[in-house]
Structure 1
Amino acid sequence: MIDERDRKILELLQRHPDHQIALIAERVNLSVSACSRRIQKLEERGYIMGRFVVLDRDRVGVPTTVFALVKTAHHSDEWIEQFRRAVSDIPEIVEAHRLTGHYDYILKIVLPRVEHYDVVYRRLVKRLELFDVSASISMETLKDGLAVPVEYAS
């Protein structure tokens, strides 16, 4: 079980992973060593999976986002594993989700420009047989981020 102080630590680490432990400790009314121990326990118990640097996509040359909806006629464990490997090997595919409903998967793809989508598409279909792929270009990002709500953590 985690308590409200642990939740606050998780919230602070998500929003400001570069903060010094002393600053986090001050904000949750703990000593630095007590706060450090709590963070270590949260890591050991799997609440914290890693710490990331978020890059400015415009500055690194991949400002375009395309969402590809994928249908397949294959649903075997072997095919799913082959699909998992294929999307993992293509760095432009930054997220992949298995879905319920009309489509089987949705892929979030980041690109230097929309025309580059064809390059990624060809790499994917070269490795896998897909029934249908429908792509949509994101015109504007209204909300983006990796932070998740922590009030449900137990």
Structure 2
Amino acid sequence: MRKVDSYDVRLLKLLQQDTTLSIADMAEEVGLSQNACWRRLKTLEEEGYILKKVALLNYKKLGCGVTVYVTVRTNQHTEDWLEKFAKGIHLIPEVVEFHRMSGDVDYFLKIRVRDIDDYDRIYKKIIKCAPLVDVSSFFAMERIKETTEIPLSLP
């Protein structure tokens, strides 16, 4: 796999800001021909730098205005347990992030719900997934910064 260069980084930055830009607009912005721009974007996709292109939705307008961060601890650390727990969590669409952690917490979840009652419904699904030692919930009071952009620097 080749190393990304400054043109690639500028294209990736543009894509993170607006995937609806045309090839012509992107090419002009970075100083490439349209063909060269298209080829680079195709290569970046084929090499796995671009995973997918999505629309970011307004979760508040869609009734998911409450963000809950959940830490999970278990005393079982087998592959079978993790497979069972992961399968259960993947079936809960309100869980938008799911991470295995180091330190005192084993797993970390980010959940989008309507309200506290809706979270309680999700909590009950989480605790049915597999045996757990502790589930702690933290409700976000204010979104101060949130981005999907990966910080990129020019080579």
Give TM class, smaller chain: over 0.9
CA deviation string 1:8-40 (max 9, x = no partner): 000000111111111110011011111000000
1:88 corresponding residue in structure 2: 90
Q: Give the letter aligned to residue 49 of structure 1.
A: L
**Per-residue deviation, 1:77:** 1.0
1:1-150 map, 5 Å = 1-150=3-152
Instruction: Give the share of equivalent positions with the same residue, in percent.
Output: 38
**TM-score scaled to structure 2, two decimals?**
0.95
What SS does the aligned partner of 2:69 have? strand
Distance 1:78 1:147 in 2: 34
Encode CA deviations 1:117-136: one digit per residue, 9 max, x unaligned: 11001111122111100101
Extract unaligned runs of 5+ from structure 2: none
Return structure 1 stretches of 4+ with deviation > 2 angstroms.
none
RMSD: 1.2
Q: In the TM superposition, what is the alpha-carbon distance from 1:72 to its structure 2 partner?
A: 0.5
Following the alignment from structure 1 to structure 2, what is the Cα–Cα distance between the partners of residues 129 and 72?
7
How far, CA to CA, are the matches of 1:17 and 1:137 in structure 2?
Answer: 31
The alpha carbon displacement at 1:53 in A equals 0.6
For structure 1, the 5+ residue unaligned runs are none
Q: Distance in 1 between matches of 2:84 and 2:32?
A: 48
Shifted more, 78-87 versus 57-66: the winner is 78-87
Relative to the length of structure 1, the TM-score reads: 0.95
How big is each residue's C-alpha offset from its partner over 1:75-107, in whole Å with a ceiling of 9 and x where there is no partner? 111111222211111000000111111110110
Secondary structure of the 2:38 match is helix
* Residues in 2 aligned to 1:2 and 1:127: alpha-carbon distance in whole angstroms: 41
What amino acid maps onto 1:99 in structure 2?
M
The whole-number CA distance in structure 2 between the counterparts of 1:102 and 1:46 is 33
| Alpha-carbon offset, residue 48 of structure 1 | 0.2
